[in-house]
Amino acid sequence: MPVTVRADLASLPDYVAGRKVPGAVILSSNELSGQAPASVLAAIAEAAADVNRYPAMGCDDLMDRTAEHFGVDRARLAVGCGSVSLCQQVIQALCQEGDEVLFAWRSFEAYPIVTQIAMARGVKVPLVDQAIDPEGLLSAVTDRTRVMFVANPNNPTGTALRTAELTSFLDRVPDDVLVVLDEAYREFVTDPDVPDGLTFLDRQNVAVLRTFSKAYALAGIRLGYLVADLEIAAAVRKVGIPFSVNRVAQAAGIAAMTASAELMARCREVVEERPRVRAALVELGYDVPESQANFLWLPLGERTAAFNEHCLDQKVVIRAFAGEGVRATIGLPAENDAFLAAARTFPR
């Protein structure tokens, strides 16, 4: 009898990364435009010289620096190979086969993938007006629900829950359900009424997930962190693959936090561009929800594929979600102008 693989993997969707086209404007993956700071690149080069040696398995220096930089308890931290890895580790740490993981849809496309890999059952709760529906999430809770992912701001729509509605939602989530506030785009939030998830960590069933891929310009390094209850954080660390946060990533993360002033200035440039690009799109007649992230969402429905192909013809690469819409990263002003030019010439 031949070797067989898990039958359910046949239905597992592939993770679709943003396309890269040589010579094109790349606005498909929500990366921070421009290279990492020189000090970060120097730290990467120095760490790379010792890649014949294993990295620190416990990521001790990185953990210390992360705790200090973000003002959190080190014992409540877990770091991983990007926030995607930590999503999967959370499910592995909390769920048994058949347990349920809830998330809005559409939201971060890795949620259903990592849920199925971890042998749990993903439950998709539809968005309302391009935004996460807290009432819908609460209504979907069953006695098998173990984890909820709440992306705030949401990817790919950029919409965000405000303080009152998020607080009311968390007040009503059962105590035995972990709510993971996925704040991959926290550094791009400008509305003071979109709360910092770290302020909810007095609740044992709340965890906060963040990444160095976006604001810290380390998408190619793969590094993220989770802050949670002591017992939950320890379990998340336990199920991680040993040495998955490599030597270069650890050094890059420390250097990026040291260079945070320079990086946050670049984030401010992005959020200064965001309303300009949105206003121009709205003036052209596009429906564009207000975004608190470093991207904009155009819910184009059946016109999505045609718009995507039109942008590719104009050497502008965006991220298309078939039949739903497109997401365009806010890049440098010239990159944004190229996208707007493509949007302007799309047959309406």
pLDDT one-digit tens code per residue, 102-115: 999 999 999 999 99
Which value, to the nearest 10 degrees, does the dihedral of the CA atoms of residues 173, 177, 179, 180 take?
-170
The model's pLDDT over 224-265, given as tens digits with 9 standing for 90+, comes to: 999 999 999 999 999 999 999 999 999 999 999 999 999 999
pTM score above 0.85: yes
Average pLDDT over every residue of 272-281: 98
Task: Return the CA Rg of the chain.
Answer: 20
C-beta atoms surrounding 33 within 10 Å = 20
The model's pLDDT over 139-189, given as tens digits with 9 standing for 90+, comes to: 999 999 999 999 999 999 999 999 999 999 999 999 999 999 999 999 999
Give the strand order in the sheet containing 121-126.
77-80, 224-227, 206-211, 178-182, 145-151, 100-105, 121-126
User: Do the domains 38-259 and 7-35+261-345 match in fold?
Assistant: no
Q: Does domain 7-35+261-345 have CATH number 3.40.50.460?
A: no
| Residue 22 pLDDT greater than 80, yes or no | no
| pLDDT number for residue 155 | 98
How far apart are alpha carbons 210 and 193 in whole angstroms?
19
Q: Which of 344, 301, 30, 307 is nearest to 156 (CA)?
A: 30
Q: Return the bridge partners of 236, or none.
A: none
Q: Name, in order, each residue with C-beta under 8 angstroms of 300's C-beta and a sequence gap of 6 or more.
A: 307, 324, 325, 326
The model's pLDDT over 186-204, given as tens digits with 9 standing for 90+, comes to: 999 999 999 999 999 999 9
| Residue 127 pLDDT greater than 80, yes or no | yes
Sign of the CA dihedral running 277, 280, 286, 290: positive
In the chain, domain spans: 7-35+261-345, 38-259
Instruction: Give me the CATH topology for the region 38-259.
Output: Aspartate Aminotransferase; domain 2 (3.40.640)
| Residue 119 pLDDT greater than 70, yes or no | yes
User: Residue 206 belongs to what H/E stretch?
Assistant: strand 206-211
| pLDDT number for residue 173 | 98
For residue 21, what is the DSSP state?
Answer: -
For residue 119, what is the DSSP state?
Answer: T
The model's pLDDT over 51-91, given as tens digits with 9 standing for 90+, comes to: 999 999 999 999 999 999 999 999 999 999 999 999 999 99
| pLDDT number for residue 3 | 87
Q: How confident is the model at residue 136 (pLDDT cuts 50, 70, 90)?
A: very high
Provide, rounded to the nearest whole percent, the portion of the chain with pLDDT above 90. 93
| pLDDT number for residue 19 | 67
| Residue 39 pLDDT greater than 80, yes or no | yes
Q: For residues 162 and 193, is the Cβ–Cβ distance under 8 A? A: yes
Q: Return the bridge partners of 295, or none.
A: 329
Q: How confident is the model at residue 14 (pLDDT cuts 50, 70, 90)?
A: confident
